Amino acid sequence: MSGDRPLSGLRVLDFGQYIAAPGAGQNLADLGADVIKVEPLSGDQARGIGPFGTAMVRANNRGKRSIAVDLRAPEGEAVVRELLATADVLLHNFRHGVSERLGLGPDTLLARHPRLVYGFVTGFGTRGPSAYRVGLDIAAQAEFAVMDLTGAADGDPQRVGFAVADVLAAQALTSGVLAALLQRSGTGRGDVVETSLMEAVVHAQASTWAEHELSGSVPRRRGNGQALAAPAADLVRTRDGGALVLSAYTREKFAALCEVIGRPELADDPRFASNPARVEHRPELLDLLHDTLGRLDRAEALERLRGAGIVCGAVRSFDELADDPDVRASGLIADCGGGHTAPTTAFSLGGRRPASTPPAPRTGEHTVRILAELGRGEAEIRALVEAGAFAAADVATPPPHKEEPA
């Protein structure tokens, strides 16, 4: 993707920490925006929790610039005001009420900067009884049915294997910000984009919501397999110890599956002749699939299923992804330098994606450059750092003032 990426020329101030807001900022950076990560003097809180947090920072802050500032220091507040005057978008995931205490509330900023698109994420929204609760991904997964629907029917509820609520919220915030920027192109005015982990997770379960209304029953955790279709997302173990999943719940696809397993008569068996019947007799159907496909190696079973046009997939481990030929061919994985790679935009424009991207910045890596862009001279910048209003990666800094966590 060339230098004229869709958001080139736009500036984003990203006050986010961890994943939800920084993830949205990452999306905007990949689209060409100049994203300035505004960090506390001690850095994004994720920087202080070891490899778990380092991975968050690395994944959600590529290509951004970092300025580390004490937002409560008069000098820090003044610089943030100057940056706001140049910004098109502001992002944060402060706990509800914190932005107002910092002088960064939406009403205040849009009154001063009417073209600003102001986007933020909370845990549970700002209108209900949980508005002031601290919200993290796992709480959203637990409280909004994700864990209850994940795992084996007779096992404990399970979280999804990645921070799905945070990621969904980042995507929702990105969509809202892009919509607000498009709206601004016609009205000349910015707007407030608000989402939450709650809203993102509930929205993502729209089909389950509809199934609940249609069936009148509460969706239950069942492990693999779809509640109202069979075979659908069902797992089969193969002779070589591998596993695959398959779906063939339409009449045509189920008939094709019966041919693949050498049992064409099953398509007319009363137990399996319709989707509702197959759902009712799922255990018997799975026994048949294990008895037939389970006699094959995974590669051979997949080849036969794919040849018949049946949706299927190998169950693979994470370390197999980088060598996947489709992943490689897509151009999805960008070079970040130093042997570090990362998935970039989940879509291409005109068949193009960034082939390379700068890594995530160190805390305050661009403090000096950004202050210089705002007209501060070298001596003034050093004095500001020494006074503790800013931290710069290459300038000695006193112990940081501890800011209130978001």
In a 10 Å sphere around its CB, with 0-12 CB exposed, 13-18 middle and 19+ buried, how is residue 372 labelled? middle
Query: How many C-beta atoms surround the C-beta of residue 152 within 10 A?
Result: 11
- Does residue 312 contact residue 243 with C-beta atoms inside 8 Å? no
Structure token pair of residue 196? 């939450």
Question: Can 324 be counted among the known catalytic residues?
Answer: no
Pairing of strands 65-69, 34-39: parallel
Q: How far apart are CA 338 and CA 359, in angstroms?
A: 9
Structure token pair of residue 188? 């000349």
Question: Tokens 């019966």 correspond to what residue?
Answer: 258
Q: How far apart are CA 307 and CA 292, in angstroms?
A: 17
Catalytic residue among 88, 166, 191, 234: 166
Backbone CA torsion sign across 136, 94, 79, 109: positive
Reference 64, options 85, 94, 47, 39; nearest CA is 39
- Element holding 257 (H helix, E strand): helix 251-260
Backbone CA torsion sign across 90, 94, 97, 103: negative
In a 10 Å sphere around its CB, with 0-12 CB exposed, 13-18 middle and 19+ buried, how is residue 142 labelled? middle
Kindly list the catalytic residues: 166
